[in-house]
Amino acid sequence: MKQAKKGNKNSLMELLNRFKPLIKKFSNELKYEEAESDLIISFIQIIKSCEIKEIDHEGQAVNYIYISLKNKKIDLFRMYIQRNQKEYEINLDILADKSITEIEDRILIKKLLTLLTDLQKKRS
């Protein structure tokens, strides 16, 4: 870990390979395409920012990395949810307008339906 922190790419790759199963597990839990890349970047940042002086043995290092990655997974999940939660307002004045024809209604409804998430479409 000390060598990886100093910039030794081989040491960093060795650490990354050791934690690859955990990163895969967390990325599968996140269920978005870039999750694994985000976690790998976070892993590198964790290694670079780690205070080596506070870690006495390998068990502490593994525990530190595990907890840090888990916390990052939670942060990424929150960011992903916030990015995908969008609210759309329906203007009731437009819907109440009697001059809109049936074809325009269908077009409007189709446009509104495209704004729904897959989960919302399944519920309706």
Shared domain for 58 and 104, answered yes or no, is no
Are both 47 and 101 inside the same structural domain?
no
Say if residues 5 and 47 touch (Cβ distance below 8 Å): yes
Using alpha carbons only, give the angle 11, 36, 82 rounded to the nearest 5 degrees. 135
Q: Which domain holds residue 116?
A: 92-123
Query: How do residues 31-79 score in pLDDT, each as one tens digit?
Result: 888 899 999 999 999 988 887 666 667 788 888 889 999 999 999 888 8
pLDDT at residue 36, rounded to an integer: 92
Does this model's pTM top 0.85? My answer is no
Query: In terms of domains, do 11 and 72 share one?
Result: yes
Q: Judge if 76 and 98 occupy the same domain.
A: no
- Give the chain's radius of gyration (CA, Å): 23
13/51 same-domain check: yes
User: Looking at the structure, do residues 113 and 62 belong to the same domain, yes or no?
Assistant: no
Residue 68, CB-side half-sphere exposure with 13 Å CA sphere? 20
One-letter amino acid of 73? K
User: Which residue has better confidence, 7 or 96?
Assistant: 7
Q: Is the same domain home to 50 and 106?
A: no
Asked if residue 80 and residue 33 are part of one domain, the reply reads: yes
Residue 105 has pLDDT above 80, yes or no: no
| Total domains present in the chain | 2
The reply to whether 40 and 76 lie within a common domain is yes
Length of the chain, please?
A: 124
Residues 13 and 68 in one domain: yes
How far from 84 is each of 40, 55, 73, 75, 124, CA to CA, in Å?
Answer: 22, 38, 16, 14, 19
